[in-house]
Chains A and B, each alone.
Chain A
Amino acid sequence: MQTATAPPRPAPKAPRPTPWRLLRDGWRWLRTMRTALILLFILAAGASVGSLFPQEPVSPGRVQDWIAGHPAWAPLARRLHLFNVYGSWWFTTIYVLLLVSVVGCIVPRYRALFRQIRSKPRTDGPLDGLPQYRATLSPTTPDDVLADAEREFKRSRYRVVRSNGTIAGEKGHTRELGSIVFHTAFLLLLVGIVIGKGFGFSGQVAVVEGDRFTDTNVAYDSLHEGRFFGDRHRGFTMQLNNFDVAFQPSGIPKDFRSYVTLYDRGRLVRNGRIRVNEPLVYKGVSVFQLAWGWAPRVTVTQNGKLLSDAPIVVLQDQKTGSWRGVVKVPQTKPMQLGLELYFYNDLEVTSTNIPFNRSPLARRPVLFFQSFRGDLGLDRPQSVYALDKSALAPGDVGGIPLGGSTNLPGGIVVSFPQLKQYSVFQVASDPGAPLMLAAAILILVGLLPALYSSRRRVWVRAAPDAAGSRVEVAGQAFQRKSAFEEEFKAIVRNLDRDLARSGTRDG
């Protein structure tokens, strides 16, 4: 009665964009493959931007060069995070959106896969409409036909169901399972990255032979700590006993080796060797061989009183090949003394009187210096590798061969009694690494069946017939259809052979 009296329904109005609806539509949009594809291409494009501009975390020096070279564009580039693309909000947004899209795709597929695996292939319904179909007559009974078929399907590792005079087999769920594992592994990868970045740390430290460093936040020359790292430095102490570097005749390095002793809470824990590609691992912290250099020991005395005696870490100047460093001696009277060092390990001079290193070996070590007098400005923060020359005046210059010394005005003697080497270590802890390795393995394990396996179904139905049985064979593949055509032919061939054999056996 109600339907008869009900007024005609009004035409549906365009739905009002409520926040809920927007959210739902947005979620739907995000879940489509098309969106995922577009996000993939945006991700590729975004990543490429980072290779066009120097990146702050990788090469801060080149960022400064770029800014100096393009002063007009620098503020815009900085605002767009072009010098730190991979840490920028917009790059993060792209890959987070992509992963959300992946989740949106994957979760319904988890449920569908569960249903598929639990549901058995149907045995009722006509077979002759299926993509692969063949009907024949067999002299054997339907039961024998079905038994042969079951054996044949099981041998090809089909999951088999038998009822209604029909055998149905299905296989290839591994494809969907692999695809799901592959996609899910990227979420795991992200978790690994977040854990590693959040709870890990990495630092670099230069250690001169005979010296040691302790894993604390003040020991490192540069240090990145994760936001949630707290101060969980392990506190071990590593002493560099000896550093070896071997060269090919061509001058390229052959091997770097740092021989170290590890102490923890005053106890000797381990004697070890660190090489490139062979880090030392202790308490989840890995110590890597990163670089090396020379450390000439420089002593400064004034009127016979020793004021400074230390190996000086010198850094190689890529342009000239000389090694540069500084010595700061605030105790000299009446003015403080600063020395800029130019060290050559194998000094040779060109015909135009330009010094250079002939080889990477310490064959003819000479230390040149430029002295400065005045106020070193040590009350201001400054680099250990440079002098603050704002209150310094240049003084004498000189060169000292290894084992020699030179006199400066004011009773000051600078000597170069010993040459050592230093080793630069990268010290890092990444608690996300095992998870990332697991994710990487899952990515590969999932990828192979996702690409190569295919889901397919086969049926054999046998009905009694005057001569024996009427046999129908049918098949259907959801992927790789042409490959399945071949497989189906082989199944039919094998069945025919089996049936012929059981036919002769019975007869």
Chain B
Amino acid sequence: MVNSAYAQTSDGLFWVAFVVYFMALIGFVAAFAYRSKGASTLAVVLASIGAAAHAGSIATRGLAAARPPWGNMYEYSSMIAFLVVVGYLVIVNGRLKLRDLGGFAIALALVSLSLGRVLYAPAGPLVPALSSWWLKVHVAAMITASSTFSIAFIFTILYLLKDRAERRAATSLFGGSTVGAAYAGPTVGDKPGFPVDYASSEPVDAKRDGEVKGFWARLPSSEKLDTLAFRTHAIGFPIWTFGVIAGAIWASKAWGRYWGWDPKETWAFITWVIYAGYLHARATAGWRGRKAALVASAGFVSLWITYYVVNLWIVGLHSYAGVK
């Protein structure tokens, strides 16, 4: 049933991906610190090579077990990491042209991969309850939504950091020099002693943003990050909603009840509620901005509880111990 050649290939490629991602992370950190175009290009190439190896690892895993490769915690973690990297390469880097954020995506992917490795299980078939079309749909949706929420979380955290930097710059602005304060580009920083690079910058409301100097200047404006965070969450939320519904349909077919407040179900629900709260908060006066971003961050914490804490510390039907 289990093809061991494929299984070994999968494990090997997993480590190749892990190591190459790690090199890409170093590249991104160097690119971020020294603002080196070459380093960031190299990092993107490395991340792409890592993603290719990772795709191979996932595909051979599926071939080894003769089923979709999302049947246990190791496989979920690997899939989530893979989708985060692909999401970065295709959308964040490809479409949004925010190459500098690669380090954050790769770091998150590496955390997910490491957790997956800790929870490693050899390639194998599933217990009967797990071989269902609805389950495949449910898990695929949950993995996609989680990866999307992970990328959204990166935007959210960066928004919070950038927003704080902008506030500080705005308060210090009135005490210091205002020369050059009217221009601060979204991705353009300023090296000490050098004037702001006006060529590629655009006017920004100086009263609100001030001039963010140094490290945080490398990030897009807080406004842009907030918009990106919202849009990414708005993609993840319907997928998560669909995933929860598909899970309920599967549960009703497998266990004869669509909802049983099993810990995994409970936390999927809590995560849904928090993200719903975020989407509402962002449209509510007095909650917009930082408060909403904190709600979104709480949603991400809840997401990780749903994935890891519930499986590792709380017992439930989702423990996959089979039918009892």
Contact = CB atoms under 8 A, between A and B. Distances in A.
A58 B254 contact: no
Contact of A440 (B135, B245, B254, B286): B245
Contacts of B253: 277-279, 288
Interface in B306-321: 310, 314-316
Given A37-B277, A40-B280, A444-B245, A291 B323 contact: yes
Contacts of A430: 252, 257-258
A261 B72 CA distance: 36
Contact of A58 (B242, B260, B323): B260
A249 B273 contact: no
A51 B286 contact: no
A14 interface: no
Main secondary structure of the interface of B (DSSP, over half): helix
A41 B277 contact: yes
Contact of B266 (A33, A48, A57, A426): A48
B129 interface: yes
A50 B227 CA distance: 35
Interface stretch (A228-236, A349-357, A446-454): A446-454
Interface stretch (B55-63, B73-81, B233-241): B233-241
B15 interface: no
Interface in A415-444: 426-428, 430, 433, 436-437, 440, 443-444
Contacts of B241: 443-444, 447
Contact of B284 (A33, A48, A437, A448): A33
B280 A252 contact: no
Contacts of B237: 447, 451
Contact of B269 (A47, A62, A248, A291): A47
A288 B255 CA distance: 7
A275 B324 CA distance: 15
Nearest to B245: A440
Contacts of B127: 252-253
Interface in B212-243: 227, 234, 237-238, 241-242
A66 interface: no
Nearest to B126: A252
B283 A33 contact: yes
A249 B252 contact: no
A256 B323 contact: yes
Nearest to A255: B128
Contacts of A279: 253, 256
Contacts of B30: none
Given A256-B128, A275-B128, A37 B281 contact: yes
B303 interface: no
A37 B273 contact: no
A289 B128 CA distance: 11
Contacts of B1: 248-249
B262 A58 contact: yes
A202 interface: yes
Interface in A201-249: 202, 248-249
| Residue among A51, A59, A62, A288 with most chain B CB within 10 A | A51
Contacts of B134: 277
Contacts of A290: 255-256, 323
B248 A253 contact: no
B263 A40 contact: no
Nearest to B252: A433
B159 interface: no
Contacts of B125: 248, 252, 254
Interface string A12-47: 000000000000000000000110110011011001
B256 A451 contact: no
A351 B310 CA distance: 38
A479 to B, nearest CB: 9
B282 to A, nearest CB: 11
Interface of B: 1, 124-125, 127-129, 131-132, 134-135, 227, 234, 237-238, 241-242, 245, 248-250, 252-258, 260-263, 266-267, 269-270, 273-274, 276-277, 279-281, 283-284, 286-287, 295, 302, 310, 314-316, 322-324
Given A288-B253, A430-B252, A433-B258, 11 more contacts: A34-B284, A44-B274, A47-B266, A51-B310, A57-B261, A58-B260, A86-B261, A253-B127, A256-B323, A291-B324, A448-B238
12 contacts: A33-B280, A40-B274, A43-B273, A47-B266, A57-B261, A58-B260, A253-B323, A256-B128, A291-B323, A440-B245, A440-B248, A443-B241
